[in-house]
Amino acid sequence: MTATDPPRTKAAIAAGEPGYGARAAEIGARYGIVIALVLLCAVLAIASEHFLTTRNILNVLRQSSINGILAIGMTFVILTRGIDLSVGSVVALAGVVAASFASTSATAMVGGGPYPAMLAIIIGIAVGMASGAVSGVVVARFAVPAFVATLGMLSIARGLTLLYSGGRPVPALTPEFRWIGTGDLFGIPMPIVLFGLVFVVAWWVLAFSRFGRQVYAVGGNPHAAKVSGINVRRVRFSVYVISGGLAGLAGMILAARTGSALPQAGVAYELDAIAAVVIGGTSLAGGVGRVTGTLIGALLIGVMNNGLDLMGVTSYYQMVFKGILIVAAVMLDQARHKRE
C-alpha cells in the first residue's frame, strides 16, 4: 500500500485484496487504449467542429479499414512470436495483379479481359496467400527468423510488382471491381463493411476455434505446444498465409478506391499495421493479445491522422507522433512482460 492509497481494512489486507492504486493500474492496463481513444476524440471534437460530423466519422473508418485489415492479419503473426514486414509490398503486388484482370485498358489488361470482378478478387487474394505461404515455409520449415524471411519477401514482392506492371499503373478498372472500394451496402461504405466482416471472423477464430487456441499456445510456449500435440510448423505457416491473404484484400480495396493500381502503393504500410497491433496490446513476445485491441489501435491511428489533417498539421509531424506511439507501446509491453 502506497502513501497515496486510502487505508484498507485488516480483513482486506489479510485476504490479499489489491489497493485502489493497484486497481487503477489494472484498469489502466486493461482499458488504457480505449480511454486514450475516447480522450483523443474528445480533444479533436473540441479542436475542430468538423470532427464529429457523420461524413468525417465515415471518412475515418474508411481510411482506417485498409490498415485495420492488414493489422488483423499481423495480429495472427505476432501472436505466434513472428512479424510480417512484407505486407506493404504484397498490397501492391496483389492490387496490380487483380487490377490487370479487371482493367479495360488495352495496354494493362490480361488478354481477353476484363474478366468478372469476382474472378479478379479471387486472384488477388490468392496472390496474397501465395506470398504469405512463401514466407511461412521459410519461417516454419527452415527456421529462418521471421524478420529476415519477410524482409526478403518485401523486396521480392515489390520487384515482382514492378516487373508485372512494367513500373506503370494499371488504370481503367471496371465499375464492378471498383465497388469494393467506392460502393456501399445499406449506406455503409464497402471498405468499412469488409473491415467489419474480417474483424468478426478473426475475433471468432481467435476466441472460439481450435486453431485460435493453437495460435495462442504456439506464441505462449512453442515447446510445450509441440509436446501437447500441436503441429507448430503448420500453425506458423498458416498465420503467414492469413496475413498475406488479408494483405491481398487490402491491396484490392486500395486499388478500387483510387481507380487504378499503383506499383508504388503500400510503401511503409507494414509499419502502420505493426503499430496498430502493438498499440492494441498484443505482446511482441507472443501469446498475449486480442483482435479487439488491434481494432482500437487501428482506429486510434486513423483518428490521430484525421485529426491532425483537420488541424492542418503536416504529414511529417504525423510520422513523429506515430513513432512515439509505437515506442511507448513497446516500452509498456516490455515493462508488463518483466512484471509477469
CA atoms within 13 A of residue 119's CA, in its CB half-sphere: 10
The count of domains in the chain is 1
CA-based torsion, 225, 231, 236, 238: positive or negative = negative
- In this predicted structure, the answer to whether residue 280 has a pLDDT above a threshold of 50 is yes
Kindly report, residue by residue over 237-246, the tens digit of the pLDDT.
999 999 999 9
Reduced to 3 states (helix: H, G, I; strand: E, B; else coil), residue 165 is helix
Residue 143, all three cell numbers? 527456421
Predicted local confidence at residue 2, as pLDDT: 47
Predicted local confidence at residue 73, as pLDDT: 98
- In this predicted structure, the answer to whether residue 64 has a pLDDT above a threshold of 60 is yes
CA dihedral 137, 143, 148, 151 (to 10 degrees): 10
In contact, 215 and 75? CB cutoff 8 Å: no
Residue 269, all three cell numbers? 504500410
The residues, ordered by sequence, that sit 6+ positions from 196 with a Cβ below 8 Å of its Cβ are none
The answer to the question of residue 19 being in a domain is no
Range with the lowest mean pLDDT among 11-20, 136-145, 314-323? 11-20
Taking residues 151-162, report their average pLDDT: 98
- In this predicted structure, the answer to whether residue 329 has a pLDDT above a threshold of 80 is no
In contact, 260 and 88? CB cutoff 8 Å: no
The answer to the question of residue 24 being in a domain is no
Residue type, 329: A
**Quick one: which of 273, 295, 283 has its CA closest to 330?**
283
Place 103 in a pLDDT band, splitting at 50, 70 and 90. very high
The answer to the question of residue 12 being in a domain is no
The answer to the question of residue 40 being in a domain is no
Q: How far apart are CA 48 and CA 203, in angstroms?
A: 33
- In this predicted structure, the answer to whether residue 208 has a pLDDT above a threshold of 60 is yes
The answer to the question of residue 325 being in a domain is yes
- Residue 274 lies in domain: 49-339
What pTM was estimated for this model as a whole? 0.91
Place 3 in a pLDDT band, splitting at 50, 70 and 90. very low
The answer to the question of residue 213 being in a domain is yes
The answer to the question of residue 21 being in a domain is no
The answer to the question of residue 16 being in a domain is no
What is the DSSP code string of 204-244?
A: HHHHHSHHHHHHHHHHH-HHHHHHTT--HHHHHHHHHHHHH
CATH for 261: 1.10.3470
